[in-house]
């Protein structure tokens, strides 16, 4: 349990490079991770293990140790799943309420499916930076470098620029996995394909 009393969000988001899951199960470490921040969940649409995220003001930034062209070519479909927060608690060693964990499997209420992890991150407002392996290594060795990288590098362009560069990506409506009629689950959710 987290040492600070935090408000318990009703819904959480779980990002995965695996689309169309009907049950979300804990990973090899025994935990199923989720977050109340859809931006943070969108980072996990990619299976890229060389990613660093941090927040600056209200911005969520992610540094990916990969060339943009390689990332877009390699990036496959993934989904952000919406789940009820009935079994999750804040991760005990977390300094914020960004990571919630559970030891049980859950059935998602809805998924937002993306054919491109980059599109999913951009549509949710994540500032995406593509960096070299050397910069990634330096930043993981000394996280204090992240703010200076953020100031010196240019993030990926906005979603409109992405769609111009990737014209084969089209927008589709969200797929509900259940018949839940909760008003919080309906609205203008977009999916890339």
**Angle at the Cα of 108 from the Cα atoms of 103 and 109, rounded to 5 degrees:** 140
Percent of the chain scored above 70 by pLDDT?
74
Residue 192 has pLDDT above 70, yes or no: no
E strands of the chain, at which residues?
Answer: 11-16, 32-34, 51-56, 59-65, 78-84, 89-90, 100-102, 110-114, 127-131, 171-173, 175-176, 190-192
Q: Per-residue pLDDT averaged across 110-118, rounded?
A: 91
More confident position, 163 or 99: 99
Report the mean per-residue pLDDT for the chain: 77
Mean pLDDT calculated for residue range 92-113? 82
pLDDT in tens, 6-26: 678 889 999 999 999 999 999
Contacts with 126 (C-beta within 8 Å, 6 or more apart), sequence order: 39, 42, 43, 60, 61, 62
Can you tell me which residue has the tokens 């779980």?
14
Quote the pLDDT of residue 37.
Answer: 93
For 167-180, the pLDDT digits (tens) are 454 343 233 333 34
SS3 state of residue 114: strand
Distance of CA 170 to the CA centre of its chain: 20
């Amino acid at each position: 349990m987290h040492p600070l009393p935090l408000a318990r969000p009703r819904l959480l988001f779980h990002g995965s490079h695996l689309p169309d899951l009907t049950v979300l199960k804990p990973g090899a470490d025994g935990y199923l991770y989720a977050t109340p921040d859809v931006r943070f969940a969108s980072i996990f649409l990619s299976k890229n293990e060389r990613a660093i995220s941090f927040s600056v003001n209200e911005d969520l930034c992610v540094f990916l140790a990969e060339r943009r062209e390689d990332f877009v070519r390699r990036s496959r479909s993934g989904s952000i799943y919406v789940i009820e927060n009935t079994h999750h608690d804040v991760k005990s060693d977390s300094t914020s309420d960004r990571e919630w964990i559970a030891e049980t499997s859950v059935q998602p209420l809805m998924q937002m499916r993306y054919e491109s992890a980059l599109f999913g991150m951009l549509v949710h407002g994540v500032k995406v930076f593509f960096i070299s392996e050397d910069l990634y290594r330096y930043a993981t060795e000394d996280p204090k470098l992240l703010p200076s990288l953020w100031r010196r590098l240019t993030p990926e362009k906005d979603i409109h620029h992405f769609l111009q560069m990737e014209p084969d990506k089209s927008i589709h409506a969200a797929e509900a996995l259940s018949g839940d009629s909760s008003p919080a689950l309906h609205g203008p959710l977009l999916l890339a394909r």
